[in-house]
A and B are shown apart, each in its own frame.
Chain A
Amino acid sequence: MKRITIDPITRLEGHGKIEIFLDEEGDVANVYFQIPELRGFEQFCVGRPAEEMPRITNRICGVCPEAHHMAATKALDALYHVEPSSAVKKLRELFYSAFYVTDHTTHFYALGGPDFVLGPDAPKAERNILGVIHKVGVEIGKQVIDCRMRNHHVIQMLGGRHVHPVAGLPGGWSRALTAEEREEVEAIARQNVDFALFSLKLFDDIVLANQAYVDLILSDAFTHRTYYMGTVDANNHVNFYDGMIRVVGPTGKELVKYHARDYTQHIAEHVEPWTYLKFPYLKDVGWKGFVDGEDSGVYCATPLSRLNAADGMATPRAQEAYERFYETLGSKKNGRYEPVHHRLATHWARLIELLYAAERMLELSQDPEITDPNTRPVVETTPDEGVGCVEAPRGTLTHHYQTDENGILTRVNLIVGTTNNYAPIAMSVKKAAQSLIKKGTVITDGLLNRIEMAFRNYDPCMSCATHSLPGQMPLEVVIRDAQGEVVRHLSQYI
């Protein structure tokens, strides 16, 4: 069997890699996907007071500390059996919406967007934020940075610190909002709504108006029919902060809707001998391998998945954008839109979520309860076990803690956003490789780009937490013949 190895090496040492195995015919047989492992998190936590978890877990990842902080805070609510007041819930959701605006903005303009804004065939060195600024103009580049800065300001105001928030308490939130601050947040939210509408218009003008890009989105190489997971409110609308976990099948039919605390009844982890990664799958369907379809328990949890798992958006303009998305890419059957299976449409879905986050932030900033100063309840209950769950930008994030009666941790389990998507990522990489490796012929030029695009649309969190210089990620491809000899060696930075 031929083996092709692709190494996305973080920091100069080799950590993760993608291995592509060919069959005797020289076609892709399997893709093995490995990423860096950070060891010892549970051991690190056990023996510490559970109240430290919102501050410890937000150190897991420099990319989405806010998501870990919020999942940990909600796990403490459950652990201490304390239901936050509606004012506390709204404050938290306001904070979380500001975080979503920055995160989705950054992904579109600096990371995923360049493939479209510059075009998938643009030279590598141009497909970054510099290239985007060059193409769309300095003024828009300034707006992107302004958007990040004003929302970081809100995150600091409400989270208590500039990067790693500290405001979460069991049943509470340590930073209340003053009337003056509320006005400032409302003004920022208005700017965010304008910016989100502008970003969707930009996507229209640059991507949807270009048939070649639309064909790329619709192409089979980037399509998978799987189950989709997302958190929904009582109306089955997308919600990032709270709700029920809903899973729909490839036709859009609801498979299950459950409370986050019951996750172990619905999600199991499949183990493969070639990797320490565990692949979550739907227990009710079962693991059938890395395959598409209704009989395969593989599910996906991304912006696209959240839209697919919901019946709509809770805010008016995001709902309009949602309808347009499905009118353009999907079809309406049995009274609801069928899921969109084109993975590259995730970039569009992310912008619709950006608009929803901005509109939701505006609504919350205008809520009379938002300046309620009573945000720190007295907690007198005995802790035992709690699950906290939010939608992280990269997928459903679950924190599960168990403690003794003094609140000292005895067990910790996390399912981070990207983990949900391990199997779909492996499948997308395989498909991208299949389109370029046929009967032993490897089209090396496009291989890395295709794999990179397949990869990036999941916005995978590969190397949480460490930022050691040089912090780059060279993608290395080693192609071996049937005897295991290296016949080709390629690399580029992703």
Chain B
Amino acid sequence: MKTLVIGLGNPILCDDGVGVRVAAELAGMLEDSDGINVDVIEASVGGLRLMELMQGYDRVILVDALLGPGAPPGTIKRLTLSDLERITPPQHVASAHDTTLITALQAGRRLGLALPESVVIYGIFVEKVDEFGEEPTPAVARAIPQATAAVLSELRAAI
């Protein structure tokens, strides 16, 4: 099984870069001896572009910042695509510029693209994403090793 881990977010927008940091940490911890067929990348994209990056993989694990009520900053939440579908119905655009990931994946499947069977999202609740800065807030920073460990154990469990 070929897996792609994508750390999503903007590394110069404080907590928004948390997914990118997890991906970097994960890439440093993976060893060839693990026997896991995985690529780890970072990206600051959504919708169509994100869907296109997933082509050719059997499984994708996204790591992204999650903003909203329901949990304190630093809380890690594992979501499936159907969870995501409930919060982003496939209607129009995600930002003013792009489709939601759900719509993009549906479009990609309709077009016969080789898209993963399984897409899992690790969301990390964040607080500060509207200010430029390279450092995440303390609670979010503390979640980085935990989220990395969670992704790593999910990768290993599937071997």
Interface residues of A (CB under 8 A from B): 10-13, 15, 36-41, 43-44, 56, 59, 62-63, 65, 106-107, 110-111, 114, 124-125, 127-130, 133, 138, 141-142, 145, 148-149, 152, 163-164, 455-456, 459-463, 465-473, 492-494
**CB of B65 within 8 Å of the partner chain:** yes
**Residue of B43, B107, B110 ringed by the most chain A CB atoms within 10 A:** B107
Asked if residues A493 and B92 are in contact (CB atoms below 8 Å), the reply is yes
Q: CB-CB contacts of B85-106 with A at 8 A, as 1s and 0s?
A: 0011111111111111001101
Cβ–Cβ contact A149 & B130, under 8 A: no
- Determine how close the nearest CB of chain B comes to the CB of A26; give it in whole angstroms: 30
* Chain A residues positioned under 8 Å from B27 (CB to CB): none
A111 CA to B97 CA in the complex, in Å? 7
Whether A106 lies near B44 (C-beta < 8 A) is: no
Which single residue of chain A is at the shortest CB-CB distance from B123?
A469
CA distance A97 to B16 in the complex (A): 30
Q: Which of B13, B52, B100, B107 contacts A133 (CB 8 A)?
A: B107
Contact in complex: B95, A125 (CB < 8 Å): no
B149 at the interface (CB under 8 A from A): no
**B132:A468 contact, CB within 8 angstroms:** no
Give A286 to B48 CA distance when docked, in angstroms.
41
Question: Are A62 and B45 interface neighbours, CB within 8 A?
Answer: yes
Q: How far is the CA of A40 from the CA of B128 in the complex (A)?
A: 12
Q: Is the CB of B10 within 8 A of A467?
A: yes
Do residues B112 and A470 form an inter-chain contact, with CB atoms below 8 A?
no
In the assembled complex, B78 has its CB within 8 A of some CB on chain A: no
Q: Which residues of B contact A (CB under 8 A)?
A: 8-13, 16, 43-49, 52, 64-69, 79, 84, 87-100, 103-104, 106-108, 110-113, 121, 123, 126, 129-133
**Chain B positions within 8 Å of A106 at CB level:** 48, 97-98
Contact of A462 among B11, B89, B95, B103 (CB under 8 A): B95
Q: B67 to A13, Cβ gap below 8 A?
A: yes
Known: A148-B48, A459-B97, A467-B16. 16 other contacts (CB 8 A): A62-B46, A106-B98, A128-B93, A128-B103, A130-B107, A163-B43, A455-B96, A463-B96, A465-B44, A466-B9, A466-B129, A468-B126, A468-B129, A471-B88, A492-B91, A493-B92
Sort A-B residue pairs by CB-CB distance and give the 7 closest, nearest first. Answer: A12-B68, A44-B132, A468-B65, A62-B44, A11-B67, A468-B67, A40-B132
30 A-B pairs with C-beta separation under 8 A: A12-B68, A12-B69, A39-B131, A40-B132, A44-B12, A44-B133, A59-B10, A59-B44, A62-B44, A110-B99, A111-B93, A130-B107, A138-B111, A142-B112, A145-B48, A459-B97, A463-B95, A463-B96, A465-B10, A466-B9, A466-B10, A466-B129, A467-B8, A467-B10, A467-B45, A467-B95, A468-B66, A469-B67, A469-B79, A470-B68
Given the contacts A40-B132, A138-B112, A470 and B95 also touching, CB distance less than 8 Å? no
| Interchain nearest-CB distance for A68 vs B (Å) | 12
When A127-B92, A471-B95 are in contact, do A145 and B84 touch as well, CB less than 8 Å? no
Evaluate contact between B108 and A145: CB separation under 8 angstroms. yes
> A37, A56, A111, A462 — which one has the most chain B CB atoms within 10 A of its CB?
A111
Complex partner residue of B16 from A15, A114, A462, A468, CB under 8 angstroms: A468
- Please tell me if the beta carbons of A110 and B48 are within 8 angstroms of each other in the complex: yes
Closest chain B residue, CB of each to CB of A57: B12
Say whether, besides A56-B12, A133-B110, A13 and B133 are in contact (CB < 8 Å).
Answer: no
Question: Within 8 Å CB of A467, what residues of B?
Answer: 8-10, 16, 44-46, 64-65, 95
Partner of A129, one of B13, B46, B103, B133: B103
B11 to chain A, nearest CB (A): 7
Whether A133 contacts B67 in the complex (CB less than 8 A), given A111-B93, A125-B90, comes out as no
- Whether B84 pairs with A470 at a CB distance below 8 angstroms is yes
The answer to whether B90 touches A11 (Cβ under 8 A) is no
Residue in B closest to A452 when the chains form the complex, CB atoms: B92
Q: How far is the CB of B127 from chain A (nearest CB, A)?
A: 10
